[in-house]
Amino acid sequence: MKLSVLIAALRLRHLAGAALLSTSLAAYALPAGLAQGPSVEGVTQYTLDNGLRLVLAPDDSKPTTTVNMTYLVGSRHENYGQTGMAHLLEHMLFRGTPTLRNALGEFSKRGLEANGTTSSDRTNYFASFAADPETLKWYLDWQADVMVNALIDKQDLEAEMPVVRNEMESGENSPFRVLMQKLTAAAYQWHSYGKTTIGARSDVENVDIEQLRKFYHDYYQPDNAVLFVTGQFDTDQTLENIAKAFGSIPKPTRTLRPEYTVEPVQDGTRTVTLRRHGGTPLIMSLYHLPSAASPEYMDLSLGISALGDTPSGQLYKNLVNQNLATSVFSFDSESHDPGYALFGAELKPDMDQQKALKVMNDTLEGLAKSPLKETDLERIRSQWMTGWTQTYANPSSLASALSEAAASGDWRLFFLQRDRVEAAKLPNVQKALETWLVASNRSNGLYIPTEKPLRAPQATTVDVAKLVQDYTGKDSGKAVEAFDPSPANIMARTDLQPLSLGKDLGEVKMALLPKGTRAERVEARLSFKFGSPDQLKNQTATAAAVASLLSTGTKKLNREQISDQFTAMQTQFSTSGSNGRLYLSLSSNRENLPKAIALALDVLREANFPEDELKKYQQAVVTDLKSASTEPAALASQAIERYTNPWPKDDIRYTPSFEEGIERVQAVNIKQVRDFHQKFYGTGDVAFSAVGDFDKEEVRKALAEGLKGWRKAPTYQRPDDPLQTVAPKVFDINTPDKANAFYLADLGLKLQDSDADFPAVYLANYLLGLSETSRLWNRVRVEDGLSYNVRSQVEASSYEPNGSWKVYAIHAPSNSEKLGKTIDEVLTQTLKNGFSEQEVKEGVNALLNYRRLSRSQDTVVSSAWLNYLDLGRSFEWSEKMDQELQKLNAEQVNAALRKYLKPKEMVVAIAADHERQKQGAAAPEAQETEQGQAPAPAPTDAPAALEAQP
């Protein structure tokens, strides 16, 4: 996982936006045992007699429903010797109850995006699905069942233990994760925030089953839980279903133990040094903070974001701009008890870590001399509010945000924090930062002696109930339409009339789908195609640099000014490009989309590519490539890609090695960048899509004005990409000092997505390895516990018969041999026995549900339209795919499986620490697993992936 992605995942920030559709209950009698509580901006709380709190946020704007059951128990509630118990219990609940043994499998059958997560303050279980009363009722019934009837037996614990170990070690490949773990442990000497949620290996491996059951019976009770339901649902019926499902659960008589450990004020800088093979240099500084409910917390949070912002923050300017680091970051923990802020930077190997650390700490602790500016606060406030509105407008994100707020003390903190952000004043932000960002309150990678330590005040936990008891929030706002995401309705609502640019400049292919959304949000995409393979020879690195550097400056605006203008428009803007294609992405709102389009096109046309920005880009890319060159997954993938790639080095289809990639990036100069932009960027082959709340004519006008008078780009010619037939081969790649190993098998397919066989192959892959009921998942993860994540994947080109069938799994190096044999057995047995009619029926239903869910997401529909415009297709193609899936039977699916899946012809790459592999070979019965970073076990990305090949 890239460091930037990991940091974004760790930013525990409540974001937000528009208005919820509230349902009046004036004429509705609540079910027996249910009482209505506080209501804020369309979000209403109810409480059952047994203490269970229900928080409903109905919203008909998207035909999806999200349920999030949050138990107010996390790793901070674990006693000595119990670390990891909260997380282990999360795993065990999916092992089932007497009435349902395989929860994950059942979720997959029903097309639910479902999972569970554990943090320091809470454990939650959630599911998103296409709105359906029966599915909602079933999932609520499951939540009620698992609250009191989870089996938690010894046999299941033993079966799940290798999987938990597998996940435990999944973070050990990441220097960032390990350093952060060591840093929090050093900073928190007494409070449980110093322990990782995953727990200590010895505690997890030796967990007492009776203690685990007691932990479950103590904390998994209605009076310690908050149930959130967001999205499209019938409020009255949902309350009836909840009362029926949970009302019979008795209120517990036990009393939860009090929490009284308070971390003392730190009295001096603490230092942690970590040495491991691979990766890139990092520096970090951690400061204790008050809790998320504290009155000064949001002042601190805004200030922390401002300091670490790229490119406007002081850390970026003092480190990256001064060539002391390649990137910087900052975030805060947003926790129930006093938490922390983390600042850091990533460096190239030849950069001076001690100097960079000193500059970073001097910057953070020297704010009295170099204070924040009003523009810094307004920039971050605007970014925060944009994120808040996006969260508020998305039922799934809203459920998660409310869950996190509840874990911090009360779900109403979600709204209260917004109010505090709106009211934040620069003097308060500055004072809070100067109070808490002091050397005696810091832990980092170096020991820094302090003659006269300045200590922070004692942090305390806020009485959140008292804080929010009279809080009412703001008006709910207006309701938006209930949108039908069927292909037929998408087609009926989309305007496909192209936009003429005038003589010699061609036209813009258009797909405009205006519809009501919360916060009037809109997703827009723009693509440009240019050049032929011959024209683009030897320019792959240059093309990538041009696309990445577009927004770093124009003739009139610098990088910071461009960023600030998009922020002021509440717009997120990004660019990407390769192989003669450029993509622009805009996430904006009705009022600002035309202005955002105008600014994006001005940036595109008038980019001036500052030379210092090219140097920063090169440093960042080189750093990423060097980091990837030691990662098992990246090494395995590259080995197979290069083996199956026949193209010469100057061809845009060539796959370079990591070393070649670094050389190419370093060889790019500013003249090449500017010449490429001047030669290839222009009109000619342009497409635009927009989905959400916008005015069609204003958008057309903005595009026409923005592209008016621009040059025409060289004619685009797509490079042919025929199937490359290669001999089977096994790559055995050594990755020293990596706890994770990666298995990847790849098979070339003579298959195009328009072929008659494609729907059957598509479904066969889902049944083989894409779902939690798949053959690979059940055998490799559930039965044998060899991998935290094992999947198969099918891809097929839309242009020519060139596809691939892949199988991949993370695993412990000691289990490499066993994993390979197990996967071979699964493939062989599946080919022999095939899939049953029941499996096919359930698979079709699940895929159709996932595809419907994806079409309810504006980001997916906008991107899909851009893809269709390129291919000359429409959502009629998506509808046809749905129809073809529904026609499939087991005979057809098994025939396609046997026609295309040839295990003996696969190219396999296994990247692992050879020393650890030898240990496994010497002790084949050992079940201990050591893992690298893995995606979530649930098919979280399935909707987008499934619509991408509609």
Summarize pLDDT for 669-719 with one digit per residue, the tens.
999 999 999 999 999 999 999 999 999 999 999 999 999 999 999 999 999
Helix (H, G, I), strand (E, B) or coil at 647: coil
Q: Write down the residue that tokens 């996940």 correspond to.
A: 167
User: Structurally, how many domains does the chain consist of?
Assistant: 4
Tell me whether strands 729-734 and 907-912 are parallel, antiparallel or unpaired: parallel
Whether residues 105 and 203 share a domain: the answer is yes
User: Which residues, in sequence order, are bridge partners of residue 442?
Assistant: 287
What pTM was estimated for this model as a whole? Answer: 0.86
> Would you say residue 719 lies in a domain?
no
Note the pLDDT of residue 452.
62
How far is 456 from 434, CA to CA, in rounded Å?
A: 10
State yes or no: pLDDT of 248 exceeds 60: yes
Q: DSSP character for 778?
A: I
Neighbours of 784 (CB within 10 A): 18
Whether residues 524 and 668 share a domain: the answer is yes
Domain boundary residue, one of 415, 436, 468: 468
> Would you say residue 279 lies in a domain?
yes
Mean of pLDDT over the chain: 91
State yes or no: pLDDT of 22 exceeds 50: no
Using pLDDT thresholds of 50, 70 and 90, give the confidence band for residue 574. very high
Using pLDDT thresholds of 50, 70 and 90, give the confidence band for residue 445. confident
Domain boundary residue, one of 410, 438, 468: 468
How far is 549 from 608, CA to CA, in rounded Å?
A: 9
Using pLDDT thresholds of 50, 70 and 90, give the confidence band for residue 19. very low
Nearest 10 degrees: Cα torsion 260, 265, 269, 275: 10
Whether residues 550 and 638 share a domain: the answer is yes
Using pLDDT thresholds of 50, 70 and 90, give the confidence band for residue 5. very low
Whether residues 69 and 217 share a domain: the answer is yes
> Would you say residue 716 lies in a domain?
no
Using pLDDT thresholds of 50, 70 and 90, give the confidence band for residue 280. confident
Please count the residues of the chain.
950
My answer on whether omega of the bond before 485 falls inside 30° of 0, hence cis, is no
Using pLDDT thresholds of 50, 70 and 90, give the confidence band for residue 24. very low
Q: What is the mean pLDDT of residues 821-834?
A: 98
Identify whether the C-beta of residue 123 lies closer than 8 Å to the C-beta of residue 65: no
43-47, 129-133, 204-208, 546-550: least confidently modelled range: 204-208
Identify whether the C-beta of residue 163 lies closer than 8 Å to the C-beta of residue 91: yes
Note the pLDDT of residue 447.
36
Q: DSSP character for 780?
A: I
> Would you say residue 634 lies in a domain?
yes
Regarding predicted confidence, which is higher, 185 or 922?
185
Whether residues 813 and 913 share a domain: the answer is yes
> Would you say residue 256 lies in a domain?
no
Nearest 10 degrees: Cα torsion 125, 131, 135, 141: 50
> Would you say residue 714 lies in a domain?
no
Distances (CA, A) of 780 to 460, 696, 791: 47, 51, 10
Q: What is the mean pLDDT of residues 297-325?
A: 98
Whether residues 443 and 535 share a domain: the answer is no
**Which domain CATH number covers 635?**
3.30.830.10
How far is 712 from 506, CA to CA, in rounded Å?
A: 8
Q: Which residues, at least 6 apart from 558, have a Cβ–Cβ distance to it below 8 Å?
A: 610
Note the pLDDT of residue 699.
98
State yes or no: pLDDT of 733 exceeds 90: yes
Q: Which residues, at least 6 apart from 851, have a Cβ–Cβ distance to it below 8 Å?
A: 878, 881, 882, 943, 946, 947, 950
Using pLDDT thresholds of 50, 70 and 90, give the confidence band for residue 504. confident
Note the pLDDT of residue 949.
32
Residue type at 768?
L
State yes or no: pLDDT of 494 exceeds 80: yes
Note the pLDDT of residue 175.
82
Measured in degrees and rounded to the nearest 5, phi and psi for residue 55 equal -125, 115
Domain holding 237, by residue range, is 3-175+185-246
Burial 598-632 (b: 16+ CB within 10 A, else e): ebbbbbbbebbbbeebbebbbbbbbbbbbbbbbbb
> Would you say residue 257 lies in a domain?
no
How far is 608 from 604, CA to CA, in rounded Å?
A: 10
Identify whether the C-beta of residue 543 lies closer than 8 Å to the C-beta of residue 578: yes
Q: Which residues, at least 6 apart from 337, have a Cβ–Cβ distance to it below 8 Å?
A: 76, 121, 191, 193, 259, 291, 461
Identify whether the C-beta of residue 447 lies closer than 8 Å to the C-beta of residue 269: yes
Note the pLDDT of residue 169.
79
* DSSP assignments along 143-209, one per residue: HHHHHHH----HHHHHHHHHHHHHHHGGGTT-HHHHHHHHHHHHH-SSSGGGS-TT--HHHHHT--H
**Which of these, 945, 63, 60, 865, lies nearest to 524 by C-alpha position?**
865
Distances (CA, A) of 932 to 623, 737, 809: 20, 11, 10
Identify whether the C-beta of residue 283 lies closer than 8 Å to the C-beta of residue 360: yes
Whether residues 840 and 904 share a domain: the answer is yes
Neighbours of 588 (CB within 10 A): 28
Percent of the chain with pLDDT over 70: 93
Note the pLDDT of residue 479.
80
Whether residues 354 and 287 share a domain: the answer is yes
Neighbours of 255 (CB within 10 A): 7
State yes or no: pLDDT of 448 exceeds 90: no
Whether residues 880 and 781 share a domain: the answer is yes
Note the pLDDT of residue 15.
31
Summarize pLDDT for 398-435 with one digit per residue, the tens.
999 999 999 999 999 999 999 999 999 999 999 999 99
Summarize pLDDT for 206-244 with one digit per residue, the tens.
999 999 999 999 999 999 999 999 999 999 999 999 999
State yes or no: pLDDT of 588 exceeds 90: yes
Q: What is the CA radius of gyration of the chain?
A: 28
* Range list of β-strands (E), 25-76: 34-40, 43-48, 53-58, 64-71
Residue type at 568?
A
Note the pLDDT of residue 451.
59
Helix (H, G, I), strand (E, B) or coil at 811: strand
Whether residues 492 and 463 share a domain: the answer is no
Identify whether the C-beta of residue 54 lies closer than 8 Å to the C-beta of residue 128: no
Q: What is the mean pLDDT of residues 556-570?
A: 97
Domain boundary residue, one of 707, 738, 764: 707
Whether residues 684 and 753 share a domain: the answer is no
> Would you say residue 251 lies in a domain?
no
Whether residues 381 and 503 share a domain: the answer is no
